[in-house]
Structure 1
């Protein structure tokens, strides 16, 4: 992935994972402050409250936020997606979730769906931001 001037990262978390994404954003606060961030509604609100990060809030996932992020991703306006999913709880908007993850695959956009992969992604992007390709 070629290094953009500013990484554009989408942040999404199911209800059971919202505390994890808050903690993740606190751990990578210095790097995330240099990024252009967007998030689904409640996730964005919680991250902003917990960290003070500036985040463009979109609709909540079930109301179309996942689709809004997918549209940006398909048009080249998202560089990476962190989507902390709860694999133990059925989601009423599962087709939208699957469409977003599929769009990441189709457009070759990195997508972290659990805390460990999100940590690796952010660590790697932060190194790239400092040292380049």
Structure 2
């Protein structure tokens, strides 16, 4: 599960993560650097860190989506602010859609998507039957 938040939404993501701390502790988390450091410092949640979004972190998470390593993208975006890396943000959203990865852009959608993502992450990978 990837956790990302624009600066104006980091507190909102931290509040959401605090409400779901127990569920998140059971998940493998990936986060952009600043967001991940805040999650660790304030909530004790451990995440694999990628670069900050403007420094390529969005693209790193996008690559993980392509590699089927992300079951849920929680990305609290700031719809009222301008982002210098807006093209990277759009590309990350596009990859989530193309690769059918659920995308939560606010606490309400994250609340709905989290339980299913936790179940999918805990389930064993399906075994493909031989075509013979």
TM bucket, shorter chain: 0.7 to 0.9
Q: Equivalences for 1:1-133 in 2 at 5 Å?
A: 9-126=1-118
Unaligned residue ranges in structure 1 (runs of 5+): 1-8
How many Å separate the matches in 1 of 2:59 and 2:119?
Answer: 30
Rg larger in 1 or in 2? 2
TM-score, length of structure 2 as denominator length: 0.87
Across the aligned residues of Structure 1 and Structure 2, the Cα RMSD in angstroms comes to: 1.9
For 1:14 and 1:77, how far apart are their aligned partners in 2? 22
**CA displacement at 1:109 relative to structure 2:** 0.3
4+ residue runs over 6 A deviation: 127-130
Measure the CA separation in 2 of the matches of 1:38 and 1:70: 12
Counterpart of 2:130 in structure 1 is none
**Structure 2: gaps of 5 or more residues:** 123-132
**For the Cα contact (< 8 Å) 1:21–1:47, is it kept in 2?**
no
Aligned residues: 124
3-state SS, counterpart of residue 112 of structure 2: helix
The two structures have a TM-score, normalised by structure 1, of 0.87
